[in-house]
């Protein structure tokens, strides 16, 4: 149990410090939109950290956004050595995990589903009218 708490603390620290590093230190113009880190999973041996990122302002299914998201991941994965080095200075641990970036589609998928639901219920009568019709 103590090991999982340690991994959770490490993941939280990596997420916090990495988001600050990306915002302040990476000046690549190919990083379009607002890059946010939605989750970090650290391996039990602290060798790797799977970093899940979301790029705000892009929708699911748009072909241009898919290309832009891939480009963002390429930039982050190529900068992973620099980010790991800087992360090592900030968190001061004996082992700094190698970073692997992945695109997290959950926010975009949630927005897509919300849009579908809104489209489906827009033709329904308001709740008060439906209640009066039932009486």
The single-letter DSSP state of residue 63 is: H
What region, left, alpha or beta, does residue 97 occupy, with left being phi > 0 and alpha being psi -120 to 50 degrees? beta
Count the neighbouring beta carbons within 10 Å of the beta carbon of residue 37.
19
Give 3-55 pLDDT, tens digit per residue.
689 899 999 999 999 999 988 888 887 776 788 899 999 999 989 999 999 88
Average of per-residue pLDDT across 78-85: 92
pTM, full prediction: 0.74
Q: According to CATH, what is the number of the domain 2-123?
A: 3.30.300.20
Distances (CA, A) of 99 to 43, 51, 63, 122: 11, 7, 27, 44
């Amino acid at each position: 149990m103590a090991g999982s708490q340690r991994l959770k603390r490490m993941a939280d620290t990596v997420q916090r410090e990495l988001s600050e590093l990306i915002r302040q230190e990476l000046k690549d113009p190919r990083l379009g939109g607002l890059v946010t880190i939605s989750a970090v999973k650290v391996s039990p041996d602290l060798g790797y950290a799977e970093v899940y990122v979301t790029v705000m302002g892009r929708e699911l299914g748009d072909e241009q956004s898919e290309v832009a998201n891939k480009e963002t991941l390429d930039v982050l994965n190529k900068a992973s050595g620099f980010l790991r080095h800087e992360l090592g200075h900030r968190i001061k641990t004996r082992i700094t995990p190698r970073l692997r970036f992945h695109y997290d589609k959950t926010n975009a998928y949630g927005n897509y589903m919300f849009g579908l639901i809104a489209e489906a219920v827009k033709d329904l009568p308001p709740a008060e009218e439906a209640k009066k019709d039932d009486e």
